Amino acid sequence: MADIRVLIADDSILFSRFLKSVVDSAEGFTVCACSANAYEARDEIEKLKPDMLILDIEMPKLNGIAFLRQLIPQYTVPVIICSSRKDLIMQAMQAGAADFLAKPEEGGYEEFKAKLKKSLVAASKIKRVKSGCKFYAVRKSASAADTNAAHELRRIIAIGGSAGSTEALPEILQFFDKNTPPVGVVLHMPEGYTSLYAKRMNAKFPDLEIVEATQGLYLKNGMVVIAQGDKHMRLFRDARGYFVTCEDGPKVSGHCPSVDVFFESAAFCAEKDAIGVILTGMGKDGARGLSQMHHAGAYTIGQSEKSSAVYGMPKAAFELGAVDKQCDLERIGFHIKEYLSRQGGK
């Protein structure tokens, strides 16, 4: 039987080397890579498909618990948290950790080695992982077909808006067709209205598949997914492609669903393959998320002041330096289509 392949994510090079020596000495386990932060770990996961992770909490760019919450729904493997932050044990376990090991203090390295080897064996037997309130089955190796499908579906368009955005969205959708990359949309609409809105848009644009988001829905070209009016929508990607989750939660940036929540998830799992669009609306929701998309390499668009019903959200994003291109509303859809054509669509 092949060894269980372990990825280590810790910003301490010396401690990563120590962990590697322990794992490699454990029968049936081998380290496939070491990463210095969560973003490096994500890239290694996509390339190497490890069977297990050892994860630090205090890392630059994104801490281990936040990374774990993002990871488990889209790539479910046992994760052992190894950290000096004993005060965060409960948060780590609630996020989906299989075990929590405190980093050894001086003189405690032999005891730590024994604990880690025992934890590796126990974690390798886990079949399900609980993250938040949901259980996820531990993944099996992706088939070649699933892997190829994931590579074919790279581009994603993320749109967010508030006041005036329900009227603005159709002005963009008229430029899209069945070959357009999947579109995720978060608009500030009340519970119950989003389903009706999606049906109305679907009737208006029959070449597109416009639906209200449902838990675990996989996206495809020509699909437009509207976030439910009372749930946060997040974007994830696995071997099959992009999918969304719909979750209850407190308001973020004053709203549920929150544009920030969706944009931040798109920044994490799509990076440069995403296009972010922030539309007319009051307040600042979406500005921080669009900034994260921008810094992750996504192409970002803000609706212009003169074409906005309320120049609040696009203004906040522009002032953060999160907008690559400001466009009048009637030009946004055409500009996206033109940009995709130049980039090859994927």
Q: Which residues are catalytic?
A: 162, 188, 285
Beta strands in the chain (DSSP E): 4-9, 29-35, 52-55, 79-83, 99-102, 128-131, 134-137, 156-161, 183-187, 209-212, 217-218, 223-226, 232-238, 241-247, 274-278, 299-303, 325-327
DSSP string, 187-205: E---TTHHHHHHHHHHHH-
- 268-287 as b/e: b if 16+ CB within 10 A: bbbbebbbbbbbbbebbbbb
Whether the Cβ atoms of residue 52 and residue 26 lie closer than 8 Å to each other = no
Q: Which residues pair with 98 in a beta bridge?
A: none
Neighbouring residues of 82: CB distance < 8 A, sequence distance ≥ 6: 10, 19, 54, 55, 56, 100, 101, 102, 103, 116
Question: In this structure, are strands 99-102 and 134-137 parallel, antiparallel, or unpaired?
Answer: unpaired
**Residue from 345, 299, 346, 344 nearest 326 by CA:** 299
Whether the Cβ atoms of residue 135 and residue 129 lie closer than 8 Å to each other = yes
> What distances in angstroms separate CA 55 from CA 59, 236, 324, 343, one per listed residue?
9, 20, 34, 35
Structure token pair of residue 32? 């496939």
